[in-house]
Amino acid sequence: MRAALSELKPSLIRQIHALKQPSSIDCSLGEPTLPIEPELWVRGLARYEREAKGYAPNLGLRELRDRIAKHHALPGRATGDNVIVTVGSEEALFLAFFTLLDMGDEVVIADPAYPAYAGLATMCGARAVRVPLRAPSYALCTDDVAAAVTDRTRLVVVSAPSNPFGRCDDQAELRALATLAGARGFYVLSDEIYKELYFGAAPPPSITQMSARTLLVSGLSKSCAMTGHRLGYLVAPAELVAAMWPVHQLTVTTTSTLAQQLAIEAFAEPRFLSAHREHYRRAWAQARAALDMYTIPYIEPEGAFYAMCPIVPEGVDAFDFCKRFLAAEDVVVVPGTAFGPGGARFVRLSFAGAEGDFVEATKRLAAFLTTSRSAS
C-alpha cells in the first residue's frame, strides 16, 4: 500500500455523521435539503431527452465549458479551453493538487479549513502548512501566508465564503496575495463553491480576477442543491488544463451527461445560480435568532450555511464533546477539529437542513451546556 495512505482517515465530519441515529436531528453535513429549482429540472430533462445521452467529451460538453468561461470571465482564462467539468468540486480540488504538487512540496491552507485540502496534500505526498484564522475577521491575513511560504510552496488555498466560518476575505489582502504569488511563483486556488450564497450586498471579491496565477474551483452542489449530481468545475491557465486532461480521463473519464445538461441550463440563466441565496439569508436570520435566544455564542457568517460556535470548554476534546452531545440530546454537530487544530474550541452547526431542525438543535444544545456546566 502507498505509505502516504496510512496517514489518511475518513474526516471527523463523516465519522460523527456515521453515528447518527434515525431519530437524530442532523446539523452536520453541508447538504441542502431544498429541491433543485423545478424550472431548471424541467429544462435540464428536456435537454437530456433531445440531446446525446452517452459519454460526454472528457473535459465536458463544449457548450457548458464555454458558458462557465463566459460566466466567470477571468482575465486571460475566458474561453472554454480554460475549463474542465469535474465530478463535484472535490475532483477539481484533486486535479489541482495532483497536478501542481510533487512529493515534499508544500501547500498553504487556513486553520481551520475544509478538511479535503489537508487530506489531498497528504495523499499527494505533500505537506499542508496551516496559517491561523484569527478574530475578529477569521479571514485570510497575507502577512501570515508570506511567513509560511518557502521555496517548496507550490499552492495557497483560499475560499470565500469559507467553510467552516462562512467569512469572506478582504480585497486588499487578496491583492497582496496576488502580488506575493507572482513574486514567489506559487499558484492560488480559490474554492468558490459557496460564492453565490453570500448574505451581504455584493459577492465576495475573487483573487481569480486579480492574477492569472490562479485556479478557480466551484460547482453546483451548494448553490443549486445538486450535491447528488456531482457537477463541479475548474477554470485554470490552458497549460494546466492540458496537464490535467489525462489525469481526469484516467480517473473518471467525464462527469454525468445529465448533470452537465442541467448545468448548461443553469449557466444559460444565472438567476438559477442565485435562486437559493434568499432562502439561506432567511435561514441564517432564524438560526441567529435561536442562538441569541439561548445565548449560545457564534462567529457571524457572511455566507454559506454554517454557524461556528466557540463552546468547547478548555481541556475538552471537541470530538468527545460532540459525541456526548449526540448521546445526551440526539443531535449531530461537527467538531471544529475536523477542520484543523484551530477549530479546537468550536462546534459547527449547519443550517442547511430541514426547517425547524436548527432551532430544536439550539434548544437542546443550550440544555446540554447547562447540564454539563452544573456537572463540572
Q: Which residues bind ligand PLP (CB under 6 A)?
A: 30, 88-90, 114, 159, 163, 191, 193, 219, 221, 227, 232
Given CA atoms 108, 252, 228, 50 in this order, what sign does their dihedral have?
Answer: positive
- Whether residue 225 contacts residue 197, with contact meaning beta carbons closer than 8 Å, is answered with no
Judging by DSSP bridges, how do beta strands 306-310 and 346-350 pair with one another? Answer: antiparallel
Q: Closer to ligand PLP by CB, 44 or 112: give it.
A: 112
List the end-to-end C-alpha distance of the chain, in Å, as a whole number: 45
Q: How far is the CB of 95 from ligand PLP (least distance, A)?
A: 12
Q: How far is the CB of 174 from ligand PLP (least distance, A)?
A: 17
Taking every pair of Cα atoms in the chain, the longest distance, rounded to a whole number of angstroms, is 65
Q: How far is the CB of 162 from ligand PLP (least distance, A)?
A: 7
- Whether residue 131 contacts residue 110, with contact meaning beta carbons closer than 8 Å, is answered with yes
Rounded-to-5 percentages of helix, strand, coil across the chain: 45, 15, 40
Q: Closer to ligand PLP by CB, 174 or 366: give it.
A: 174
Return the CA Rg of the chain: 20
* Backbone φ and ψ of 58, nearest 5°: -45, -50
Q: How far is the CB of 88 from ligand PLP (least distance, A)?
A: 3
- Other beta carbons within 10 angstroms of residue 300's beta carbon come to 14
Q: How far is the CB of 191 from ligand PLP (least distance, A)?
A: 5
Q: Closer to ligand PLP by CB, 219 or 342: give it.
A: 219
Q: How far is the CB of 376 from ligand PLP (least distance, A)?
A: 33
Q: Closer to ligand PLP by CB, 219 or 301: give it.
A: 219
Residue with cell 459519454: 55
- Other beta carbons within 10 angstroms of residue 315's beta carbon come to 5
The gap from C-alpha 160 to its chain's centroid, in whole angstroms, comes to: 9
Q: How far is the CB of 68 from ligand PLP (least distance, A)?
A: 14
36 exposure class (CB count in 10 Å sphere: 0-12, 13-18, 19+) = buried
Q: Closer to ligand PLP by CB, 107 or 366: give it.
A: 107
Sequence-ordered list of residues with C-beta below 8 angstroms from that of 292, at least 6 positions apart, any chain: none
Of 368, 349, 363, the C-alpha closest to 28 is: 349
Q: Closer to ligand PLP by CB, 219 or 336: give it.
A: 219
Q: Closer to ligand PLP by CB, 178 or 189: give it.
A: 189
- Other beta carbons within 10 angstroms of residue 18's beta carbon come to 9
Q: How far is the CB of 346 from ligand PLP (least distance, A)?
A: 16
Q: Closer to ligand PLP by CB, 193 or 312: give it.
A: 193
Q: Which residue is nearest to ligand PLP (CB)?
A: 88
